[in-house]
Amino acid sequence: MSSEQSITFIAQPGGNLSGEIRVPGDKSISHRSIMLGSLSDGTVTITGFLQGEDSLATLKAFKAMGVDIQGPDEKGKIIIHGVGMHGLKPPAEPLDLGNSGTSMRLLTGLLASQGFDITLTGDDSLSSRPMKRVIDPIQQMGAVIEATEKGTAPLHIKSSKNSRLKAIDYVLPMASAQVKSCVLLAGLYAEGRTCVTEPAPTRDHTERMLQGFGYTLDIKKLDDQRSTICLEGGGKLTACDIDVPSDISSAAFFMVGASIADGSDLTLKHVGINPTRIGIINILNLMGADISLSNEQEVGGEPVADIRIRSARLKGIHIPEDQVPLAIDEFPAIAIAAACAEGRTVLTGAEELRVKESDRIQAMVDGLQILGIDCEGTPDGMIINGGTLGSGTVDSLGDHRIAMSFAMAALRASGEITIKDCANVNTSFPDFIQLAQTCGLKVEA
């Protein structure tokens, strides 16, 4: 895996972002397109697939379980010959999911009742991330799953004589799209009606794609925040084609960069604007950003648009907690915006950031302090006082989003920023350096 290499980013100060670019395909949708496409009846064509290491780990896993998958070609086109709901075969060896938490958490539900033993492994980073949150509900459904004493990978999923899971009515203890998706995917194979209630909105790509493949879901809004999603086990998935929109999480770095750098005028093409993912737009708008949407349409059940960002004078805000689940992956980039804003930005309700690919709260606070910003971490967030970014060497801790965020910080820095341990940028954004250079960021690997 790329994490074994040593890659350092060097970002020179100044400049701005301009032009039109298209960032890579959405990682969440790319993962799910492989999973559901493989289990469908028929042939599925995927376009715009993200060729990052995380989503390729999912693709390799399903190939290892006997699915005939052709591609991806240079344009991200993939053809999957689905094997149906019960056509997966036991792989010859453990499935190595690299750095991909999405792959491991969703597959834990999907593979819990396939009727064969299977082991899920990953790199050192993935092997330190919490998995009890998905193991617990799936065990309540009757699965047999073994993990380490800390509840981490490797995960050993055991077949049982009665491999049919029992449906449950599960209330998520915290908002998590991955846990929700894990339980729903297990519910496809369960006896009865599986329901998941979430305390706040989270990304709904699994629900949208299941319905796109013809699976019936019952979704009820309980109030402004809570909703319940139910499905009956024992159905089937009917093949359909998928066009993967550009990933708003990857677009976020450029949205922040264009907002903070004087003279910027950048358009990001065909970006997914799923309402459960637009926290980055909402938060930047609250900070005073100049963002406009055009060419809005729906592609394969997912809303997309072109996003134009022009430089603006940002101001510090208290980030509304209802926006936190809608922007959970974008907070490293948002922290850079906060560092360049006038006044204080306060983030609360984001303790999930402590257990991502790195402790993202500590990683951003440490890096910003090195660059001269007055900030501090709290158990569930950050307090950042806007100021002047200096120069220095920061450690991304092998976390792709930390690396790309500090690269964008150079647009407003007074000197060179060196970012260590950047190999895992390949997990979500393999061409980040080249694309960033084309629109004006002075960065090299």
Helices (H), 290-357: 331-340
pLDDT tens for the 445 residues of the chain, in order: 344 468 999 999 999 999 999 999 999 999 999 999 999 999 999 999 999 999 999 999 999 999 999 999 988 999 999 999 999 999 999 999 999 999 999 999 999 999 999 999 999 999 999 999 999 999 999 999 999 999 999 999 998 656 689 999 999 999 899 999 999 999 999 999 999 999 999 999 999 999 999 999 999 999 989 999 999 999 999 999 999 999 999 999 999 999 999 999 999 999 999 999 999 999 999 999 999 999 999 887 899 999 999 999 999 999 999 999 999 999 999 999 999 999 999 999 999 999 888 899 999 999 999 999 999 999 999 999 999 999 999 999 999 999 999 999 999 999 999 999 999 998 889 899 999 999 999 999 9
User: Which CB contacts under 8 angstroms, 24+ apart, belong to 70-76?
Assistant: 71/46, 72/46, 75/47, 76/25, 76/46, 76/47, 76/48, 76/49, 76/50, 76/51, 76/244
Q: Which of 26, 306, 329, 395 is catalytic?
A: 329
Domains parsed from the chain with CATH numbers? 2-25+245-444 (3.65.10.10), 27-243 (3.65.10.10)
Other Cβ atoms less than 10 A from the Cβ of 188: the count is 23
SS3 label, residue 414: coil
Structure token pair of residue 126: 């993935």
Q: Identify which of 370, 381, 304 has the alpha carbon closest to the alpha carbon of residue 345.
A: 381
CA 97 – CA 130 distance, rounded (Å): 15
CA 180 – CA 434 distance, rounded (Å): 35
CA 66 – CA 73 distance, rounded (Å): 20
Q: Identify which of 142, 207, 216, 155 has the alpha carbon closest to the alpha carbon of residue 181.
A: 207
431 carries an active-site annotation? no
Judge contact between 47 and 77, C-beta under 8 A.
yes
* Stated pTM of the model: 0.89
Judge contact between 172 and 196, C-beta under 8 A.
yes
Torsion angle, CA of 368/372/378/379, rounded to 10 degrees? 40
User: Which CB contacts under 8 angstroms, 24+ apart, belong to 2-7?
Assistant: 2/53, 2/423, 2/424, 2/426, 2/427, 3/99, 3/123, 3/124, 3/125, 3/398, 3/423, 3/424, 4/423, 5/423, 6/421, 6/423, 7/421, 7/422, 7/423, 7/425, 7/445
